[in-house]
Chain A
C-alpha cells in the first residue's frame, strides 16, 4: 500500500500503534470512537452496496438533474457538480470504487504477503533471507510510480488499479506478518506441538495462524485506508476508473478549477474520503492495540 506519494505504498510502512499510553491498562475496552468509526464504515458500505435501491437517488452520471454548481439544497443534499450531476449520488457511487479497490487489493495482498510472512517467520534461514531481501528491494521502489506505470500501461480499469495496489501492498504486509510470526514461533505451545509430533504444516495452520490472524486483520484495516488513498491519488491524476463513472479522487480533481465558484465540488468527496480513512485508521489502531504482540521493533 502506497503513499500517494507517501500516501503511496512506502508510506504504508507500519506506523507505530497509535497512542498506546492513552488507554487505561491492558484490558481496555474498544471505546466510543471505535464504535463511531465502525458505524461510519457500516453506513458507507451499506450505502455503496444498496446505492441502486436508495429512493430518490438520481443516477450519478445523469447530467442536468439540477442546476449546475449548486450548493447543497433540500433537493440535492450535497449540491450538484459542474454538469448538474447530483453530488450525493456521485459520492455514494464513488464509494463503491474506493471500497472495492481498497478491500480487493488488500485481500489479495494479505493472501500473498501473509503467506510469505508466515513462511519466512516460521522456516527462517535462507528462505527468510531471500524473501525479506526481495521485499526490501520492492520497498525501495517509488510506490506511486510503480502503480502509475502499471495502470497506464495496462489501461485504467477497476481490475488493473486493484492489481497495482495489491502488488504494492505485499511487501509491507509480509514484513508485519513475519514480525508477528517470529514472536509466536518461539513460544512454548509451538514447541509442545512439535514435541507431540505435529508436522510443519499443522503447526503453521493450527498453531500459528490463529494467533497471527487478529493482528494481521487489524493491520489490514489500516492498509485498506492506505489503498483507498492510493486509489484516490491515481484517480486524481486521471488514472483510475474512466469518466463519467465517479470516484472520490477524480471528483476532487474536477472541483479543483472551480474552487472560487463552487468549493463544495471538491470538499464533499474530500470529506467522505477523510472520514473513511480516519475511521479505518482508528478502527485498525484500536484493534491492533489489543491484539498486536509486536510492540517493540523486530
Chain B
C-alpha cells in the first residue's frame, strides 16, 4: 500500500472527526433542559445553581466550551459524572472489556455460520440449501433483538436451564461461567448480523462465480473447492467486509438493548443508565467514543479494500 494513498486517506479523516466531535458536543448541549436542575434537583437555590453553572463552564459561550471540551477529550479527559463523581474515562475503561468480549463473540459466531453457509448456498443457487438458508435469513431479519433475547431466555434459561437468564461473571473470576453468561447475549446480537452477512456474501459470490477468471480456472481443471476458496472468495467479500467492519466500529460502544436485557455491565448499559439519569457528561463521552470508533472503522475498511483487491489501490489512489 503506497504511502501516498495512506496519507490521502488520513487527511480526509481529519474534517470528518472534527464534524463528528462537534456534533457529539452540540447534540447534548442544544437539548432543552437545564443540567443544573438535573444535578441539584428542582429545589436547589438560585445561588448554588449559579455556582454549579460556573463550575461546569455553562456560563461561557458555546464555542469556547466546545474548544475546552475538545482539548480535554483529546488528552483523554472526558470529564466527571456528576451523579457518581467517577471520571468518564475510568468508567469507559471499566466497561469496555465487557462490550468488547460480547462484540467479539457475537461477530465470530455470525461469521463462522454465515461464511460456510453462503459458500454452500452460492455453489448451487436456488437449490434446497440456498432456499432454506435465504428464507431463514429473511425471517431472522424480522426479529428485533429484544424479541429474540426474550425468546432465547424463555427457551434456554427458563425451560432448559442451560444458561443464566441475566447477569455477568468476570472472566478473571471464573472463565467457564463467564462464557456461559455471554452465550445468550452473543447469539441474540449475532443472529441478525448472521442474516445480513449471509445475504451479502451469497449475492456477491454468485456474481463473482460468473466472471471470466472463474471460467478460466474451471477450464484449467482446478477442483471446485480451490476455485471457491482461492479465487472467488476474496474478491466477493467487499460488502461483507464493509458491513462487518462498520458493525465492529458501532458495537465498540456496546449493544444497548442486549446489554440492558441481559444485565451486562458494558458501555451500552452505561449509556442507557446515564441517559435515564440525565448524566450529560457521561453520555457525551460514550457518544463521542462510538462515533469516533465508527469513523475509524470506516477508515480501516477503506484501507482493507486495497488488500482485498489490488485494483482498488490504483483506481483510488
Report which A residues bind B (CB closer than 8 A): 4-7, 10-11, 13, 15-16, 18-22, 133, 136-138, 140-142, 144-146, 148-150, 152-154, 225, 229, 232-233, 236-237, 249, 252-253, 255-256, 259-260, 263, 266-267, 270, 273-274, 277-278, 281-282, 297
Contact = CB atoms under 8 A, between A and B. Distances in A.
Interface of B: 16, 19-20, 23-24, 27-28, 31-33, 125-126, 131, 134, 138-139, 141-147, 150-151, 153-154, 158, 189, 192-193, 196, 199-200, 203, 206, 239, 243, 246-247, 250, 253, 255-258, 260-261, 271-272, 275-276, 278, 283, 286-287, 290-291, 294-295, 298
Contacts of A282: 138
B158 A6 contact: no
B283 A21 contact: no
Contacts of B246: 10
A208 B141 CA distance: 32
B119 to A, nearest CB: 16
Which residue among B203, B246, B253, B256 has the maximum number of chain A CB atoms within 10 Å of its CB? B256
Contacts of B239: 16, 297
Contacts of B158: 259-260, 263
Contacts, number: 159
A273 B144 contact: yes
Contacts of A149: 27-28, 31, 275, 283, 287
Contact of A225 (B142, B147, B154, B275): B142
Contacts of B298: 140
B247 A6 contact: yes
29 contacts: A4-B144, A6-B192, A16-B200, A18-B138, A21-B206, A133-B16, A136-B16, A137-B16, A140-B16, A140-B291, A141-B294, A142-B250, A142-B287, A142-B291, A145-B253, A149-B31, A149-B287, A153-B31, A153-B278, A225-B142, A233-B145, A236-B146, A236-B261, A237-B256, A237-B260, A256-B150, A263-B158, A281-B141, A281-B142
A88 to B, nearest CB: 19
B143 A4 contact: no
B125 A21 contact: yes
Given A5-B255, A142-B290, A152-B276, 15 more contacts: A4-B256, A5-B189, A6-B247, A18-B199, A22-B126, A141-B20, A144-B257, A150-B31, A153-B33, A236-B261, A259-B150, A263-B154, A266-B154, A278-B142, A297-B239
Contacts of A232: 144, 146-147
Given A6-B192, A19-B134, A263-B154, A270 B147 contact: yes
A61 to B, nearest CB: 23
Given A5-B258, A148-B272, A252 B146 contact: yes
Contacts of B253: 142, 145
A164 to B, nearest CB: 12
Contacts of B125: 21
A152 B294 CA distance: 24
A154 B32 contact: yes
Given A7-B144, A142-B250, A259 B256 contact: no
Contacts of B19: 133, 137
Contacts of A146: 27
Contacts of B258: 5
A140 B142 contact: no
B258 to A, nearest CB: 7
A14 B246 CA distance: 14
A10 B245 CA distance: 13
Nearest to A138: B23
Contact of B256 (A5, A138, A297): A5
A152 B250 CA distance: 22
B32 A145 contact: no
Count chain B CB atoms within 10 A of each CB in A136, A149, A281 and give the residue with the most. A149
B286 A145 contact: yes
Contacts of A278: 138-139, 142
